[in-house]
Amino acid sequence: MAVDTVTAARPAAPPLSNRRKEFRRAWRSLVAAKWPLVALFILLGVLFAAIFGPAIAPLDPNRQNIMLRLADPLTAGGRNNAMFYLGTDGLGRDVLSRLLYGARISLMVGVFAIMVGGTIGVVAGLVAGYFGGWIDDVIMRLGDIQLAFPFILLAIMFLVILGPGVFNIILVLGVGQWVTYARIVRAQTLSLREKEYVEAARALGDSTFSVIFRTILPNIMAPLTVIASFNVASVILSEASLSFLGLGVPPNVPTWGAMLADSRDQLMANKWWLAVFPGLAIVCTVLSFNILGDWLRDFLDPRLKTVG
Amino acid sequence: MWTFIIRRLIQSLIVVLGVTLITFVALQMSGDPTYLYVSERATEAEIQQTRVALGFDRPLHEQYLKFLGNLAQGDFGNSLSYKRPALEAVLEALPATIELTLFSMIMAIGLAIPLGVFAALYRGTSVDGSIMTMGMLGQSIPSFWLGIMMIMFFGLQLRWFPISGHVPFIMPLIQGNVVQAFSQLPQALYYLIMPSVAVGFYSLSRNARLVRSSMLEVLGQDYVRTARSKGIPEWAVVIRHALRNAWLPVVTLIGLEFGFLLGGVVVVEMVFSWPGIGRLVFNAINQRDIPVVQASVVILALVFISLNLIVDLIYAKIDPRVKL
Amino acid sequence: MKPLKSLLLAGAALLALPVLAQAAPPDNTVVVGLSAEPSTFDPAQISSRDNANIAKHIFATLFTVTYEGEVQPYLVDTTEVSDDGLAYTFGIKPDLTCDDGEPLTAEDVAYSFNRPADKSLAFTGNTPGFVYTTLGFKSAEVVDDLHVKINISARTTLALGMMSQVYIHCKDSYEKMTVEEAAANPIGSGSYKLASWDRGSQVVLEKVKDPGNFQTIIWRVIPEASTRTAELIAGNVDIITNVSPDQVGAIDSSGTATVSAVSGTRRIQIGFNMTDAMAGQPGAEEIKDPKVRFALQYAVDVPGICTQLLGMACDRATSLVNPPNGNPDLVPVPYDPDMAETLLDEAGYPRGEDGVRFKIKLQGPRGRYLNDANVIQAIGQYLTDVGVETEVELMEWASVYQPLLRTKEAGPLFFLGAGGVTWNPLYDMSLFATPEAATNYAGWTDERWFDDYKLALAAPTVEEARPVINRMLKLFYDEGPWLQLYFQPDFYGVSSRLDWTPRRDEEIELFNASLK
């Protein structure tokens, strides 16, 4: 419904030869808008932590020492008199190291979940939109069923059954997203199906597969990218909520959401660092994805105002 | 229009069947729930006896068909843990959740429109900046966190709002105690504020940004410029022309919004001890109380479907471009 | 501008609202915050601790267990035991009444015992499932108006204590009700009656007779721990259960409430699963070796876990029996990782090149016992430190972990807390009544123990069984199926306006609570 209002599709495919020009234009727009640039740098920082976190983390994120639990930031202690720059958590684990390792898992959950949901949704939407008829009906009814089901209940139900685990979280959160993509892609495909260049590809004898994935898909990437960037943000938040309900990742896997959820017992005891650092990490990352999504939407197609 | 409604109703039937099937399969996959309903020292014979009594010894398709047969008569079976009709338990919890979702929806939409309009009208100023910053923040804070922080700050430190709990409004209304319902309405609202902020803040933020951008777009349109050039006062332009068009995308969201807000309800009901369906169904899933889970998802799906139908009908009324 | 006006109005309304004062409980009311909600008030169905705590105020019992852990008569006046110990004849006090107004007679008592045992009704509560299996309950019969005879299948010193858990309710009212009606309409004989039950929210009890200092007891359901603590500090709730040890400081410094800690009777342990279900799992064979089991006792710093994670100093358990009923000669195994390593070397499990002796999985629930998730993870670290690489797996209690326990498939190491009592060591030991017992989750089969258990149970008094009990506990200490941990401390948040002493056995008893 929300997305049906977005059906105003772009008139024609942009010539791919101008890619470099496009990039330059994008960069200029990014610099001009300032905040998106900041967001981009924050995300690059998070990405850096995600890739190199294990290499730069000062300590083993799972090494416990309950004698050193809840140590203030900048406390030193333990076997090698190691420095806990951001303090320790309720089991005496180093918060900084967990935060760095957590970047990897949190980002992975966010991005992979979108890839799972996006892939299912895009394929379903393309197929539904291109073929129409009963296939379309079946796919869209499946989508209706899922939308009528408060997503969190579905997630809870499956996580209770599958048990906690990074892979299961990605799967559940990903599957929860597909309808959004399917609906947009379907609407776009419906309108593109009749466009001249699609007709032309078909007339030239391209296979159905080729028409769908080589001709139509590239032309609907713009709204998809925008939605994906907003979605990563909401998936990271959902992961935190599931951690709160005890359905997140296993306790030895550090994620920002789980760290934040675990910190709530210590809030009253003024152990602020347990909440503030993962909280800041989440807010900054989610905010950056949202800001970048905003910019991307304006940049790619100002008419996509209602998305997200 | 009637064909539209009838078609939608048939589709809804399929949706509800699908929802029950998914729930059934999911909960059955999770293993034999019998152990949750026998005592700690039960013997193997007692366990088997309970399994038969609960019907878990039958083949899956048989269990599902039996469930469908009963469902057709409006019977979801008895709750395994509460030992009473599951539907009764769900309908008892539903009003509290409806109160919470409705109120957060009213807030998420009712506050979003003026905020978005202000931000658009004062584009680039500090008004715009602070509204949009709040909007951005609102979309990056997990609801349980917001809830706990509000409890600590507004509940415990400042003592502005009750920390947790619920005063019913819809329930006495249904039971016919209209006087009682309205006399406790202020209390009910008072208890509603913090939980519904926790549920609705994300949506409020998103909607405010949505209204702002569509408002900006509308303000640039020809007919608005024409109206302005005719010397019509600015507020009239905003209300008569701009606002009317700017809030259309928000209306289309109402139906989906409800589903989305329901999603936040589970967590927030935990934090604020709200006696709603979210907590009920969360406990029921953990207890493998299949009848209660089934009844909850079916009722929620029905509420969701009918709300969407109503929204579509309203939308067709207010937007002349849409034909049913 | 219209939107501005409405915004201002909304703001004004918001500011005006706090004028509606939050009502702190009045003087004749005590409010208890529980973490889980009651599901039924049918005396034959009640099974959870929170549920039973409320029920205790509605239903009286033949006997009660005092704060000191002794069984005392309550509704009962006289007790006669047959020579073979299989028949108990009780004379109940005259002039007792039911909530429905009828006099409470032997007929009601017999009915209260027989109804939960009615197989056709398939009750699953604590009374039929736990009490009756432990008691060996056979039947109850009316002798005359004030005398009732209860028959059991084997002599046991546990009888009176077990009977103290059977809720006495009123025959005439229950015979008129369906099972569904009975779930919501308790008709008891205790000093309070159910006044209202807002499901998911609260249960309100009204006083009908002594004992009890408060006219009204409100049990509020507050699932989230931080919210419970906030309500207590704000003065809206008088007693809360399951206070997280990390919030103790905040409550104590609030000025409106303090934390009462008691050393509870729940026995926390790591079980060694030796059943065939574990075959093929890493570590399963190793822990069948009693030497390995004993070596691992040295690896875990139990006092450290208590002070750091549970917020209270504790003595390590020496057996499954609550003090002071244990074997006084047994000394808690100290934390000595070097000793653990030496013993493991001697047992034939040296560290490999990677420093690992063997791998093993430790399973446990999260959110079931005090700070369980952290304790389990910490133990995993301690075991890993001595070369037993431990993978910790935390599970949801009700739906995932409990079924695993029931089918004896949890493990090879599994974390568990078993409720205990102080009035009889045999109660605590009854977890291992037979090798097949449902609660023998470890699949322990040592004949020496199970032969002795029969001897101990058959002894006319506990004192006479003492030598056997001590011998058994020594065996349990040396070669038992548990890695001994601690007796779980319980933390209750108590409002400063209230004078109330918590019990050790997790029961919340409000009859003696009063305003300061």
- How do beta strands A82-84 and C63-65 pair? unpaired
Residue A71 pLDDT > 60: yes
Least confident of C123-137, C328-342, C361-375: C123-137
Least confident of A137-141, A169-173, B188-192: A137-141
Of residues C426 and A247, more confidence is placed in C426
**Closest residue by Cα to residue B26 from A169, A174, A153:** A153
Residue type, C259: V
Q: Is residue B324 part of a domain?
A: no
Looking at residue B261, which CATH number applies to its domain?
Answer: 1.10.3720.10
Where do the structural domains in chain A lie, given as residue ranges?
2-57+95-304
User: Hey, which bits of C35-146 come out as E strands?
Assistant: 63-65, 71-73, 76-81, 87-92, 137-144
Instruction: Answer yes or no: do B134 and B173 share one domain.
Output: yes
Instruction: Answer yes or no: do B188 and B62 share one domain.
Output: no
pLDDT for res C21: 47
Q: Are C63 and C72 in contact (CB under 8 A)?
A: yes
Least confident of A210-224, B80-94, C476-490: A210-224
Q: Is residue B112 part of a domain?
A: yes
Q: Are B25 and B16 in contact (CB under 8 A)?
A: no
The ipTM of this complex is 0.87
The H or E element spanning position C240 is strand C239-240
pLDDT for res A3: 37
Backbone dihedral region for residue A205 (phi beyond 0: left; psi -120 to 50: alpha; all else: beta): left
Find the domain containing B204 and state its range: 93-318
Q: Is residue B165 part of a domain?
A: yes
Q: Is residue B263 part of a domain?
A: yes
pLDDT for res B321: 62
Instruction: Answer yes or no: do B155 and B275 share one domain.
Output: yes
Write down the pTM of the prediction: 0.87
Q: Best mutation site among B27, B36, B38, B39 for testing chain C: the one with the most C CBs within 10 Å?
A: B39
Q: Are B44 and B1 in contact (CB under 8 A)?
A: no
Instruction: Answer yes or no: do B66 and B136 share one domain.
Output: no
**Closest residue by Cα to residue B284 from C244, A235, C37, C121:** C37
Residue type, C17: L
Q: Are C264 and C340 in contact (CB under 8 A)?
A: no
Instruction: Answer yes or no: do B150 and B63 share one domain.
Output: no
Instruction: Answer yes or no: do B16 and B117 share one domain.
Output: no
How does C464-491 read in b/e, with b if 16+ C-beta sit within 10 Å?
Answer: ebeebbbbbbbbbbebbbbbbbbbbbbb
- SS3 state of residue B104: helix
Instruction: Answer yes or no: do B68 and B99 share one domain.
Output: no
- SS3 state of residue C263: strand
**Closest residue by Cα to residue A110 from A177, A63, A161:** A177
We find that the CATH architecture of domain A2-57+95-304 is Orthogonal Bundle (1.10)
Record the tokens describing residue C301, joined without a space.
Answer: 């710093």
Instruction: Answer yes or no: do B245 and B306 share one domain.
Output: yes
Provide the number of structural domains found in chain B. Answer: 2
Instruction: Answer yes or no: do B219 and B278 share one domain.
Output: yes
Matching residue, tokens 């490999």:
C352
Distance CA A75, CA A77 (A): 7
Residue C9 pLDDT > 70: no
Q: Is residue B87 part of a domain?
A: no
Residue C334 pLDDT > 70: yes
Kindly identify which residue of chain A lies nearest to residue C306, measuring between CA atoms. Answer: A66
Instruction: Answer yes or no: do B25 and B55 share one domain.
Output: yes
Q: Report DSSP letters for B245-262, one per residue.
A: HHTHHHHHHHHHHHHHHH
Give the count of beta carbons closer than 10 Å to the beta carbon of residue C510.
25
Q: Is residue B323 part of a domain?
A: no
Q: Is residue B105 part of a domain?
A: yes
Q: Which chains touch A (3+ CB pairs under 8 A)?
A: B, C
Query: Which of 259-278 (A) contact B at CB < 8 A?
Result: 260-261, 264, 267-268, 275
State the sign of the Cα–Cα–Cα–Cα dihedral A243, C34, C22, C495.
negative
- Using alpha carbons only, what angle is made at residue C5 by residues C2 and C7, rounded to the nearest 5 degrees? 110
Q: Do B270 and C45 touch (CB under 8 A)?
A: no
State phi, psi for B211 to the nearest 5 degrees: -60, -40
Instruction: Answer yes or no: do B150 and B212 share one domain.
Output: yes
Distance CA C297, CA C417 (A): 17
pLDDT tens track for B279-293: 999 888 888 888 898
User: How far away is chain B from the Cα of C33, in angstroms, using its nearest Cα?
Assistant: 11
Distance CA C393, CA C413 (A): 10
Mean pLDDT of C264-273: 93
Q: Which chains touch B (3+ CB pairs under 8 A)?
A: A, C
Q: Are B41 and C433 in contact (CB under 8 A)?
A: no
Q: Is residue B127 part of a domain?
A: yes
Q: Do C4 and B114 touch (CB under 8 A)?
A: yes
Instruction: Answer yes or no: do B230 and B123 share one domain.
Output: yes
Record the tokens describing residue C471, joined without a space.
Answer: 């011998």
Residue B249 pLDDT > 70: no
pLDDT for res B323: 57
**Closest residue by Cα to residue B98 from B208, B188, B162, B177:** B188
| Facing residue for C199 by CB, picked from B50, B92, B113 | B92
Q: List alpha helices for C47-157, DSSP H.
A: 49-58, 106-117, 126, 132-135
| Facing residue for C124 by CB, picked from B39, B161, B280 | B39
Residue B225 to residues A302, B228, B241, Cα–Cα distance (Å)? 20, 5, 10
Q: In chain A, how many H helices and how many E strands?
A: 12, 2
pLDDT for res C3: 47
User: How far away is chain A from the Cα of B36, in angstroms, using its nearest Cα?
Assistant: 15
Residue type, A74: L
Q: Are C422 and C435 in contact (CB under 8 A)?
A: no
